[in-house]
Structure 1
């Protein structure tokens, strides 16, 4: 199993942040989104927030590659619609590469 941690910011607007959290509540997430995520080799996904900063933790199958996995996900039902909706809430990080939304974080410490 692989683990990836990614980060992204939300727009600094309490109403938009509340709406983002609403859409991500277990009872509100579109079923096609959860199914599409799993169909791409992502086993678990968690998103944490502090202020406007988000952190996403993915646990994936061993052969999962981030870019190809996300590209594959976008081909699943309603994923492009979901991504367009989420872009209303999200703000790219200043150091993100062109076209990059979620930025992969580097692991610098592990306690085993």
Structure 2
């Protein structure tokens, strides 16, 4: 099976409340949210945090597309509620449009043996 890998970044508000709140709500993500991620073709999703900067690594199947995932998310009330809840902790990345949360990064180096 062919896979794709993506790295996205996001900033949290620079407060202890935002950092702790974001971490806490990811300790037990609702099954509906996990199902929506899986249904979109995401095989693995990992989020790392350094201070208020988040990095998400996604491994997807070869058919995955951000456009299709966005359509699926817009039609899923549980995902909309989850995203609205998380927005209390998140803020815009510098130089991004209003309400912009996760930004796709560009790969600049790749080492493989």
Instruction: Provide the C-alpha distance between the structure 2 equivalents of 1:60 and 1:81, rounded to a whole number of angstroms.
Output: 24
What TM-score, normalized to structure 2? Answer: 0.89
What TM-score, normalized to structure 1? Answer: 0.90
1:3 equivalent among 5, 9, 31:
5
Instruction: Provide the C-alpha distance between the structure 1 equivalents of 2:61 and 2:73, rounded to a whole number of angstroms.
Output: 14
Aligned residue pair count:
110
Instruction: Provide the C-alpha distance between the structure 2 equivalents of 1:89 and 1:50, rounded to a whole number of angstroms.
Output: 15
Instruction: Provide the C-alpha distance between the structure 1 equivalents of 2:64 and 2:42, rounded to a whole number of angstroms.
Output: 8
CA contact (8 A) 2:33 2:79 kept: yes
User: Unpaired runs of 5+ in structure 2?
Assistant: none
1:38: which partner in 2?
38
Mean CA deviation greater in 89-98 or 4-13: 89-98
User: Unpaired runs of 5+ in structure 1?
Assistant: none
Describe the superposition over 1:23-81 as per-residue Cα deviations: whole angstroms up to 9, x where unpaired. 011xx211111111111111110000001000001111101112322332332350000
2:26 equivalent among 24, 36, 43:
24
